[in-house]
Structure 1
Amino acid sequence: LAVLWSIAAVGVRPYAFGPGALVALVVCLVMLAFGLSQGGFIRADTFIASSILLLAFFVLLFVLFPIFAVLQNSVMDSRGFRLGLFMDTLRNYQAFWRVLGNSLWLAFFVGVVSTLIGLAFALAATRSRSRLTVLLRSFSLLPLITPPFVVGLAIILLFGLQGFVTSTLLGLQTRGIFGFPGLALAQILSFSPVAFLVIASVVESVNPALEEASLTLRAGRWETFWKVTLPLLRPGLANAFLLTVIESLADFGNPIVLGGEFEVLSTEIYFAIIGRFDQTLAASLGIVLLFFSLSTFVLQQYWLGERSYVTVTGKPPSGNPMALPRGLEIALLGFCAVWCLFTLALYLFVVYGGFVEIWGINNAFTLRHYRQLMRDGLDALNTTLILAGVSAPLTAAVGILLAYLLVRHRFPGRRLLEFTSMLSFAVPGTVIGIGYIMAFNQSPFLLTGTAAILVISFIFRNMPVGIRSGVAALAQIDVALEEASVTLRASFATTLRRIVLPLIKPAIISALVFSFVRAVTAISAVVFLVSAKWQLSTKVILDQAENGRYGLATAYSTILIVIMALAIAVMYLLVGKTATRGGVEGGGLA
Structure 2
Amino acid sequence: MTTTPTRSAPSPKPPDTDSGPRKRASVPLRTRIAGLPLLAFISFLVLVPAGLIVVAAFGTDVPRPGGEGLSFTLENLRVLIADGVGGAALNSLVIAAGATALALLIGGSLAFVAARTDVRARGFLYLIGLMPLFLPSYVGALAWSILASPGAGLINVAFRDLGITGPVVDVYTLAGVIVVMAMYYAPYAFLMIHGSMSLMNPDLEDSAGVHGSPTWRTIRSITLPLSLPAVLGSALLIFVLVFENFPVSQVLATPGGIDTLPTFIYKLMNSTPSRGNEAAVIAIVLVTVVVAITWMQRRYLANRSFTTVSGKGVKPRIIPLGRWRTPVLLAALGYFFLSIVLPMLALLLSAVRSSPYMSSFSSLAEPGSIDFSSFTAAVTSDGFLRAASNSVVVSLTAAACGTALAFAVGYVVYRTKSWGRGALEGVSMVPLAIPHVVLAIGLLWTWLIMPLPVYGTLWVLIIGFVAVQMPQGFRGIAASIRSTDRDLEDSAVMLGARRSRAVAVITLPLLRVAVLSTFLLLLMLSMRELTVPLFLYTSDTEILSIAIYDQFENGGALREASATALVYCAIMFLLSYLPRRLGAGSGGHGA
Normalised by the length of structure 2, the TM-score is 0.85
Task: State the partner residue of 2:85.
Answer: 96
Q: The residue matched to 1:109 in structure 2 has which SS?
A: helix
Task: State the partner residue of 2:152.
Answer: 162
- Please, which moves more after superposition, 536-545 or 351-360? 351-360
CA RMSD of aligned residues (A): 2.6
Q: Deviations over 1:18-61 (max 9, x none)?
A: xxxxxxxxxxxxxxxxxxxxx978946847843x2232122211
| Compared CA separation, residues 118 and 152, structure 1 to 2 (3 A) | same
Task: State the partner residue of 1:499.
Answer: 506
Find 1:251's aligned residue among 217, 221, 245: 245
Task: State the partner residue of 1:455.
Answer: 462
Letter in 1 for 2:155: V
Task: State the partner residue of 1:367.
Answer: 372
Q: The residue matched to 1:455 in structure 2 has which SS?
A: helix
Task: Measure how far apart 1:273 and its partner are.
Answer: 1.2
- Distance in structure 2 (CA, Å) of the matches to 1:45 and 1:505: 30
| Compared CA separation, residues 60 and 221, structure 1 to 2 (3 A) | same
Letter in 2 for 1:204: S
Q: The residue matched to 2:354 in structure 1 has which SS?
A: strand
- Distance in structure 1 (CA, Å) of the matches to 2:70 and 2:116: 61
Task: State the partner residue of 1:292.
Answer: 289
Task: State the partner residue of 1:71.
Answer: 54
Letter in 1 for 2:179: L
1:278 and 2:286 are equivalent in the alignment: no
- Distance in structure 1 (CA, Å) of the matches to 2:487 and 2:211: 44
- Distance in structure 2 (CA, Å) of the matches to 1:523 and 1:126: 33
Q: The residue matched to 1:354 in structure 2 has which SS?
A: helix
Task: State the partner residue of 1:574.
Answer: 582
Q: Residues 175-574 of structure 1 correspond to what in structure 2 (within 5 A)? A: 176-259=170-253, 260=255, 261-276=257-272, 277-300=274-297, 304=301, 306-313=303-310, 315-317=311-313, 320-323=316-319, 326=322, 332-343=328-339, 344-361=341-358, 363=364, 364-373=369-378, 374-375=380-381, 376-445=383-452, 447-548=454-555, 549-574=557-582
Task: State the partner residue of 1:56.
Answer: 39
Task: State the partner residue of 2:99.
Answer: 110
- Distance in structure 2 (CA, Å) of the matches to 1:68 and 1:495: 38
| Compared CA separation, residues 67 and 281, structure 1 to 2 (3 A) | same
| Compared CA separation, residues 409 and 380, structure 1 to 2 (3 A) | same
Task: Measure how far apart 1:474 and its partner are.
Answer: 2.5
Unaligned 5+ segments in structure 1 are 1-38, 580-590
Task: Measure how far apart 1:80 and its partner are.
Answer: 5.4
Task: Measure how far apart 1:330 and its partner are.
Answer: 5.9
Instruction: Please say if residues 148 and 523 of structure 1, whose CA atoms lie closer than 8 Å, have aligned partners that are also in contact.
Output: no
- Distance in structure 2 (CA, Å) of the matches to 1:65 and 1:418: 17
Instruction: Please say if residues 130 and 191 of structure 2, whose CA atoms lie closer than 8 Å, have aligned partners that are also in contact.
Output: no
- Please, which moves more after superposition, 544-553 or 556-565? 544-553
Q: Deviations over 1:107-141 (max 9, x none)?
A: 11111111111110101111122342222221344
| Compared CA separation, residues 189 and 301, structure 1 to 2 (3 A) | same
- Please, which moves more after superposition, 323-332 or 270-279? 323-332
Letter in 2 for 1:366: D
1:120 and 2:109 are equivalent in the alignment: yes
- Distance in structure 2 (CA, Å) of the matches to 1:562 and 1:516: 15
Percent of aligned pairs with the same amino acid: 22
- Distance in structure 2 (CA, Å) of the matches to 1:63 and 1:474: 23
Q: The residue matched to 1:308 in structure 2 has which SS?
A: coil
Task: State the partner residue of 1:25.
Answer: none
Letter in 2 for 1:505: R
Q: Deviations over 1:481-539 (max 9, x none)?
A: 44434443444323321222111111111111111111111111110000011111111
Q: The residue matched to 1:77 in structure 2 has which SS?
A: coil
Task: Measure how far apart 1:440 and its partner are.
Answer: 1.8
Instruction: Please say if residues 398 and 463 of structure 2, whose CA atoms lie closer than 8 Å, have aligned partners that are also in contact.
Output: yes
Task: State the partner residue of 1:84.
Answer: 74
Instruction: Please say if residues 111 and 191 of structure 2, whose CA atoms lie closer than 8 Å, have aligned partners that are also in contact.
Output: yes
Q: Deviations over 1:297-346 (max 9, x none)?
A: 44456654553201223x21355424255477666434222211222222
Task: Measure how far apart 1:435 and its partner are.
Answer: 0.6
| Compared CA separation, residues 195 and 57, structure 1 to 2 (3 A) | same
Q: Over alpha carbons, which structure has the higher Rg?
A: 2
- Distance in structure 2 (CA, Å) of the matches to 1:322 and 1:212: 11
Instruction: Please say if residues 110 and 188 of structure 1, whose CA atoms lie closer than 8 Å, have aligned partners that are also in contact.
Output: yes
| Compared CA separation, residues 318 and 157, structure 1 to 2 (3 A) | closer
Task: Measure how far apart 1:225 and its partner are.
Answer: 1.3
- Distance in structure 1 (CA, Å) of the matches to 2:215 and 2:522: 43
